[in-house]
């Protein structure tokens, strides 16, 4: 099916958000109609920018440029209109992420929490709000991928917003946890905790990346094999998790910061995976250049992400253990209580509404329902937040059961509803 011009600009998450790098694009085929004569006007557009959270997807940019072909406009006007649209693309994911945190948190902490669970402490309501603010897009991403829709604008907005949700959600968790431990809710105390959480995340990333380059190089001289790389990644995660706990923050914040440290450039001194070397060496001389380039892209992908592949099996062990421990904390008797079920359904409705509101922040030209439902699943993130609250003694057995039901419902509802919305969009 041939492509059609479009006014929708798509983006994808910046693969190296911690580094400033320059992107240069030249588009020599730009054309529009002269507003004076009605004749075609030709120009070469040059796009230079340093990405922050997102990058512009090239195919959508070409289709966007194509959309000006039959429009009468001056080149000076078009240039500024394109600049304005490019800026808006990055802002959409940011806005969706911020709204997707603020609205569910407010609903949980100040509306449905006090209304459905009266008599609880302020800290309990704050933890409920933090749990509703969480987002886990693993399931959503799988739906987009299985349907071949990862490249659509709504999918990229959801994935970009999820990064913002992760950071803001962790800051909220740090603030709420520290407030519970300190027993203070003053404005000054909240401000200090926020600064502490942000400083820890920022400091860990900045200082860690300065040290990572040198530390990785020194360790690679001792042993450049996969065992040393595995030990480096695992030790960094455990150390930062401990450091976060030592200064009064949730260990998950430290673990998250550790995950942001590792980029292929810092691990370039380690050996290329053996399978990559063997495949590269086995390519016959007669291999066409196009096939050789295609295979090299695949091999480079595995080379860049070898540390992820090594750590991933650990998750296969610890994730089931986490869910077993979470299940052991659920009192089945509370699940049989009709009142608890009713409260859980009310909390689930609030959780869904909060994320659907965020979907409308994507703006015109995007399907707000797809974006909103893409942000709905809480998954393991919501359970982690609830577990932290239970360890601190502010989340009761009943509250924990309510949150578990909410997590299960939002996780089960999202795939079929999102699939239906995506298929409806395809048929239009």
Indicate which residues carry an active-site annotation: 34, 41
Distance CA 153, CA 168 (A): 23
Nearest residue to 273 (alpha-carbon basis) of 304, 315, 233: 304
Give the DSSP letter string of 186-198.
-HHHHHHHHHHHH
Q: What is the CA radius of gyration of the chain?
A: 24
Give the DSSP letter string of 111-141.
IIHHHHSTT--HHHHHHHHHHHH----HHHH
Distance CA 99, CA 272 (A): 42
Distance CA 150, CA 178 (A): 38
**How many angstroms separate the Cα of 80 from the Cα of each of 25, 36, 38, 137, 188?**
16, 19, 21, 35, 43
Q: Where are the strands (E) in 231-364, listed by range?
A: none
Residue 326, token pair as written in the block: 């979470």
Nearest residue to 378 (alpha-carbon basis) of 343, 345, 413, 346: 413
CA angle, residues 167, 316, 388, in degrees to nearest 5: 45
First CA to last CA across the chain, in angstroms?
15
Distance CA 297, CA 94 (A): 30
């Amino acid at each position: 099916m041939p492509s059609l011009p479009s006014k929708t600009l798509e983006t994808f998450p910046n693969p190296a958000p911690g580094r400033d790098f320059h992107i240069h694009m030249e588009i020599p085929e730009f054309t529009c109609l002269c507003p004076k004569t009605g004749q075609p006007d030709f120009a070469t557009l040059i796009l230079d920018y340093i990405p922050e959270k997102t990058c512009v997807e090239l195919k959508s940019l070409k289709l966007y440029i194509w959309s000006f072909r039959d429009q009468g406009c001056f080149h000076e006007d078009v240039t500024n209109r394109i600049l304005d649209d490019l800026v808006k693309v990055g802002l959409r994911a940011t806005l969706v992420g911020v709204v997707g945190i603020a609205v569910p948190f407010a609903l949980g902490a100040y509306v449905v929490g006090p209304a459905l669970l009266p008599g609880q402490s302020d800290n309990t309501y704050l933890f409920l709000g933090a749990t509703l603010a969480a987002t886990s897009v693993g399931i959503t991403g799988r739906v987009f991928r299985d349907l071949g829709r990862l490249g659509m604008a709504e999918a990229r907005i959801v994935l970009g917003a999820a990064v913002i949700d992760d950071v803001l959600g962790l800051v909220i968790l740090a603030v709420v946890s520290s407030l519970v431990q300190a027993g203070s809710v003053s404005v000054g105390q909240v401000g200090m905790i926020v600064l502490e959480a942000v400083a820890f995340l920022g400091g860990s990333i900045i200082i860690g990346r300065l040290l990572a380059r040198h530390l990785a190089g020194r360790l690679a001289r001792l042993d450049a094999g996969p065992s040393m790389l595995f030990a480096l990644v695992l030790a960094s995660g455990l150390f930062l998790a401990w450091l976060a706990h030592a200064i009064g923050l949730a260990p998950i914040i430290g673990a998250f910061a550790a995950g942001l440290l590792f980029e292929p450039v810092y691990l370039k001194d380690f050996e290329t995976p053996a399978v990559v070397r063997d495949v590269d060496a086995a390519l016959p001389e007669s291999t066409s250049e196009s096939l050789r380039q295609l295979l090299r892209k695949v091999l480079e992908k595995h080379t860049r992400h070898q540390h992820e592949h090594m750590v991933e099996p650990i998750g296969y062990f610890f994730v089931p253990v986490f869910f077993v421990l979470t299940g052991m904390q659920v009192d089945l008797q509370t699940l049989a209580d009709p009142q608890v079920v009713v409260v859980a359904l009310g909390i689930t409705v609030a959780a869904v509404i909060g994320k659907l509101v965020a979907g409308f922040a994507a703006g015109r030209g995007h399907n707000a329902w797809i974006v909103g439902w893409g942000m709905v699943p809480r998954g393991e993130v919501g359970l982690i937040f609830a577990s932290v609250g239970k360890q601190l003694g502010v989340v009761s057995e009943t509250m924990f059961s309510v949150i578990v039901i909410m997590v299960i419902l939002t996780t089960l509802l999202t795939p079929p509803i999102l699939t239906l919305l995506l298929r409806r969009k395809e048929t239009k």
